[in-house]
Amino acid sequence: MKVEVEEKSGFTVVSVVGELDVYTVPLFRKVLLKLEGARKHNLIVDLSKLTFLDSSGLGALIEIYQKIQSAQGEIVFILDNPRILRVFELVNLDKVLTIHPNLGRAFQHVGAPSGYVDEEFFSDIGDEGR
């Protein structure tokens, strides 16, 4: 599993590549804590390359959603894998979270042009775990 972070149009895009589960949640949390410390409160969580999500992964997504809510930020999820959408549906999270099928739609939703700004800030967060 790998977490990629990049800045786009005032949003921080956090992409989870691989599995988000009991094994990889610690790495995901580490990245999010770093974002929190840097006061990045507008997030697009890209789950389009997620291959597996269990209840521990769900817990971590709920946790970050709540943190962003209480920081008055905005958080949008990108997801189109039907099996993983089903996991969200089973716990009714699809009714609470803002979920879009791709980055373009997510940016449309938050009203930002999908421009691109490179950032070195997160360059030390690379592959770890699986």
Ligand X SMILES: Nc1ncnc2c1ncn2[C@@H]1O[C@H](COP(=O)(O)OP(=O)(O)O)[C@@H](O)[C@H]1O
Q: Using CB under 6 A, which residues numbered 52 to 111 contact ligand X?
A: 55, 86
Q: Pick from other proteins, ligand X, none: which does 88 bind, CB < 5 to 8 A by kind?
A: none
Q: Does 126 bind other proteins (CB under 8 A)?
A: no
Which pair of tokens denotes residue 25? Answer: 């949640």
- Please identify which residue in 96, 101, 115, 119 interacts with other proteins, judged by CB under 8 A: 96
DSSP for 75-98, please give it.
Answer: EEEE---HHHHHHHHHTTGGGTS-
Q: How many CB atoms lie within 10 A of CB 106?
A: 23
**Do residues 10 and 112 lie in contact, with contact meaning Cβ atoms separated by under 8 Å?**
yes
State how far the Cα of 20 lies from the Cα of 18, in Å rounded to an integer. Answer: 7
Q: Using CB under 8 A, which residues numbered 14 to 53 contact other proteins?
A: 21-23, 51-53
Binding site for other proteins (CB under 8 A): 21-23, 51-56, 58-60, 62-63, 65-66, 80-84, 86-87, 90-93, 95-96
